[in-house]
């Protein structure tokens, strides 16, 4: 793997097996001596995936919904014939910008994330992307050029077509190996609902994005969630709630709601008005 992808952009290579660590040090010393110092041995009692949040990233990145900054997100659907990606702005609107400017900003961000998702999942065949509509021909051209630049380093053979009249971009991509199909759902612990549901860890990522956004306008608010999620947010002295309060300089109250579904959540101001912006 290092032979194929190692380059100057790497800042750290962490290994949790001592023998493998020594092998990698020797290998990197031979092919890229300047990068030998970035190879590190992980000898902590904390598992390496937990230490660096790998499991959380896997569940967040390989699910049907992929969250981006400021509330925007992607919906990734797989069919027998093709892959379809829908770009949604969510709450990622800036009142200082026009609708066209907001759409362009979200589309540019989405293009970068989509290029990353194609490599992560090794998606191949036909990929159709439904970007947010833009009227400006110059913006449509910039988006097309940006996508080409983002995929320039993709080792898979691919072809990108400009946006159609309906705002759709078509990509064909060669697949190196079977597509990544990672299970991201978990057993629903609720006694009311049976079957599987989205992993709570992906919900936490979405809530933190909302907290970051809401903190710009409200310095105090409440998060109403299912009791299971409330317990997770408030567990321990340095709970997630406390970390977010310190990180975003905001006062947060977590309110358990027995009537809420497992992954349901809402935000309220101190005077009990729901926050929807």
Of the pLDDT bands very low, low, confident and very high (cuts 50, 70, 90), residue 48 is confident
Question: pLDDT tens, 193-246?
Answer: 556 666 666 778 788 888 988 998 899 999 999 888 898 899 988 899 999 999
Q: What average pLDDT is seen over the chain?
A: 86
Please give the helix or strand (H or E) that residue 200 lies within, else none.
Answer: helix 200-214
Of the pLDDT bands very low, low, confident and very high (cuts 50, 70, 90), residue 249 is very high
- The b-or-e profile of 8-44 (16+ CB within 10 A means b, else e) is eeeeebebeeeeebeebbeebeeeeeebbeebeeeee
**Mean pLDDT in residue range 238-264:** 89
Of the pLDDT bands very low, low, confident and very high (cuts 50, 70, 90), residue 179 is low
Of the pLDDT bands very low, low, confident and very high (cuts 50, 70, 90), residue 264 is confident
**Mean pLDDT in residue range 44-48:** 81
Q: Are 110 and 149 in contact (CB under 8 A)?
A: no
Q: Does the pLDDT of residue 85 top 90, yes or no? A: yes
Q: Tell me, what's the pLDDT at 19?
A: 94
Q: Tell me, what's the pLDDT at 155?
A: 84
| Residue-by-residue DSSP string for 221-242 | EEEEE-HHHHHHHH-STT-HHH
Q: Tell me, what's the pLDDT at 127?
A: 95
């Amino acid at each position: 793997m290092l032979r194929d992808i190692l380059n100057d952009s790497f800042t750290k290579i962490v290994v949790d097996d001592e023998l493998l660590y020594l092998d990698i040090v020797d290998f990197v010393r031979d092919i890229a001596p300047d990068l030998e110092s970035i190879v590190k041995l992980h000898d902590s009692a904390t598992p390496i995936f937990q230490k660096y949040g790998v499991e959380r990233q896997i569940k967040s990145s390989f699910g049907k919904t992929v969250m981006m900054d400021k509330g925007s997100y992607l919906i990734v659907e797989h069919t027998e014939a093709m892959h379809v990606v829908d770009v949604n702005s969510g709450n990622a609107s800036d009142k200082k910008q026009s609708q066209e400017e907001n759409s362009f900003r979200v589309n540019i961000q989405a293009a970068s994330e989509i290029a990353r998702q194609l490599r992560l999942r090794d998606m191949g065949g036909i990929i159709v992307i439904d970007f947010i509509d833009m009227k400006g021909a110059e913006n449509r051209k910039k988006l097309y050029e940006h996508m080409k630049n983002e995929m320039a380093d993709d080792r898979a053979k691919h072809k990108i077509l400009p946006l159609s009249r309906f705002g759709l971009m078509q990509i064909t991509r060669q697949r190196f190996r079977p597509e990544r199909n990672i299970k991201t759902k978990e057993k629903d612990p609720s006694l009311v609902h049976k079957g599987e549901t989205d992993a709570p860890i992906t919900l936490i990522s979405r809530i933190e994005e909302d907290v970051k956004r809401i903190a710009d306008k409200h310095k105090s608010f409440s998060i109403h969630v299912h009791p299971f999620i409330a317990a997770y947010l408030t567990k321990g002295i340095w709970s997630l709630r406390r970390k977010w309060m310190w990180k975003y300089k905001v006062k947060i109250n977590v309110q358990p709601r027995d009537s809420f579904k497992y992954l349901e959540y809402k935000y309220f101001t101190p005077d009990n008005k729901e926050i929807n912006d």
